[in-house]
Amino acid sequence: MQILTPHVYWAQRHAEIFLRVELSDAKDLDISVQENNTLQFKAQGHGAKGDNKYTFSLEFLEPVRTEINHKSTQRQVDIKIRKQEERWWDRLTLQEKKPLFLAPDFDRWMDESDAEMELQAKEEEKINKISVESRIRKDPYLGLKRGYLFMYNLVQFLGFSWIFVNMTVRLFILGQDSFYDTFHTTADMMYFCQMMAVLEVINPLLGLVKTGFLPAMIQVAGRNVILFVIFGCLEEMQNKSVVFFVFYLWSTIEIFRYPFYMLACISTEWKLLTWLRYSLWIPLYPLGVLAEAVAVIQSLPIFDETRLFSFPIPALLGGSLSFSYTLQIYLVLMFLGLFINFRHLYKQRRRRFRSRKRKVQ
């Protein structure tokens, strides 16, 4: 098999040299800078003369560092080499006559003045960034706040994970029979998690998080009405299958939401978790509200019969006003809250993925 020379394209900056080797599907790469300041390249790949071994060498005009950064793609091999001294070269090679296989890379090409302007712009950007950072007052309690938020999200994640796993295991073992004793097996942990969730209403007021107060208030208050008033106060509701669906939908959402915020406290992101956090709510949140609405509707005749939480009124008007009327008003407010929170979550999702697209670009 004959050994050939690939086409090589080059460009430079004051501190770096860029080489683009036209060799697709390259393998067995051997790239090094020798002691005589010569770059040696050997590889097997598909070039201008088909699939062969290709090699070339370049003796640079001035000394370069021996460390080489290279990246092989399906179309080419990109090489980046740093100069020993940051200065502009008149040409690439020590010999004045340019090798036949070497040509300028016009995709990266800049003359000296353009490169100096680019370098100056980068320096100004770096200085401006340092200046802005120096003007921003550092919060002396930032570490304490992040530690508190991390622990809060961790505890909530563990709590809802316990509920989710418990319900899932019981569902596989008992089947539909597990629907009717969900409250008695998971209520204590759900009580704990939802009482802890009150902190999500307080955190925005204290400036600990950027989340708005109203969306947090709607979600926490809505869930606590269902949990403490509908399920907690009516024994007749505790054995109904709707409890299973409400608890399962709540926990499914939270086992992705809380770890996302937990990792954000330590400036860490998992792309899959981010996508799940900002996408799963689209089907699950309306289903959760629908399950809550079913629970409220099922509780109306029970409140009418037991007269629990009835409002006293004059005897001429009936003596008391059933709490079910309040719940009927609450049903309307529930779907209004769904609209407000759905709109808020949609804006969050669009803002999040729009900013990620900008970073990629």
Cα angle 189-191-195, degrees, rounded to a multiple of 5? 120
Q: Is 86 a catalytic residue?
A: no
What residues contact residue 250 under an 8 Å CB cut-off, 6+ apart?
A: 160, 190, 223, 288
Alpha-carbon gap, residue 156 to 153, rounded angstroms? 5
Candidates 148, 180, 191, 285; catalytic one: 285
Question: What does the block give as tokens for 4?
Answer: 């050939």
**Catalytic residue (one of 22, 200, 254, 292):** 292
Q: Please list the alpha-helical segments (H only) found in 99-241.
A: 112-135, 142-174, 182-196, 199-205, 213-224, 232-233, 235-238
Q: Report CA dihedral (223, 224, 226, 229) to the nearest 10 degrees.
A: -170
Based on its alpha-carbon atoms, the radius of gyration of the chain, rounded to whole angstroms, reads 33
- Return the number of other C-beta atoms located less than 10 Å from residue 90's C-beta: 8
User: Would you call 35 a catalytic residue per the annotation?
Assistant: no
Q: Cα(348)–Cα(361) distance, rounded to whole angstroms? A: 20
Which 8-state DSSP code applies to residue 49?
Answer: T
Question: What is the rounded CA–CA span in Å between residue 18 and residue 21?
Answer: 10
The set of catalytic residues is: 285, 292
